[in-house]
Structure 1
Amino acid sequence: MNEAIVIPVSFFAFIFAILYVFWTTRNKERMAMIERGTDPQSFKMRWKGTNFLSLKFGLLFVGVAIGVLVGNILDMNTSLEEGTCYVSMIFLFGGLGLIAGYLIQSKKEDKE
């Protein structure tokens, strides 16, 4: 078997397995709730933070972009290894973007 194809196939098989287990478990839970006579409206998943999802992704991607830029600057101006510069700055600024999203979300929820 070609070694270059093993990783992508394994990745998609793993994702499929996770989704399959999630959906079958959710279906079993719903069937058990129907047997007990629970209200069908309780099946709706209510995610409190979905209205801030775009904000979180936007700030995450902005943080990753800033991390790439700062990693490039560190790579050019210091003796650190290339991988260390990029990976550390991407995680640092991506995390800062997520923290900023959390702070913005909590301030808006406190106002409501």
Structure 2
Amino acid sequence: MASDILIPFFIFSSIFGIAYVYFTTRNKERLALIEKGADARLFNSGKRFSFGEIILNLALLSIGIGVGVLVGAMLEQGGMDSDVSFPASIFIFAGIGLTVSFFVNRKLSQSES
């Protein structure tokens, strides 16, 4: 009975603790760099994803999952166990969709530069 309450509590408290340590450490590091005279542009050096890239990633992932469901249904009709055919084909085609979105995004970013 107590484990039903304690397990989610420990999971969420661990996630909160990791996030808290990460953000407080990052804040202290940035304050120390600013005190030493570092340029503030140093913190904005990471690449930001545009809204179009996120939509493209989600669209290709959704297409991959849809194709995976269709292939899983075809494999089930062919005699394969549905406990194997559906998850396997969904994960395979979702991975293919994400791989395609990676190459499409890379090609788009190279054409912008």
SS of 2:22's equivalent in the other structure is helix
**1:14 Cα deviation after fit:** 4.1
Q: Within the alignment, does 1:60 sit opposite 2:61 as a pair?
A: yes
* Structure 1 match to 2:78: 77
TM-score w.r.t. the length of structure 2 is 0.74
Equivalent residues in 2 for 1:21-36 (5 A)? 21-36=21-36
2:109 partner amino acid: E
1:65 partner amino acid: G
* Structure 2 match to 1:96: 96
1:18-51 Cα distance to aligned partner (Å, 9 max, x none): 3223212211221221221112232235325x02
1:61-108 Cα distance to aligned partner (Å, 9 max, x none): 22122212322332233233x332122112111111111111211222
Distance in 1, matches of 2:8 and 2:62, equals 24
TM-score w.r.t. the length of structure 1 is 0.74
RMSD, aligned CA: 2.5
2:21 partner amino acid: V
**1:17 Cα deviation after fit:** 3.2
1:73 partner amino acid: M
The more displaced of 19-28 and 98-107 is 19-28
Identity of aligned residues (%): 37
SS of 2:42's equivalent in the other structure is helix
1:108 partner amino acid: L
Distance in 1, matches of 2:11 and 2:74, equals 33
Distance in 1, matches of 2:46 and 2:63, equals 28
Q: Within the alignment, does 1:107 sit opposite 2:107 as a pair?
A: yes
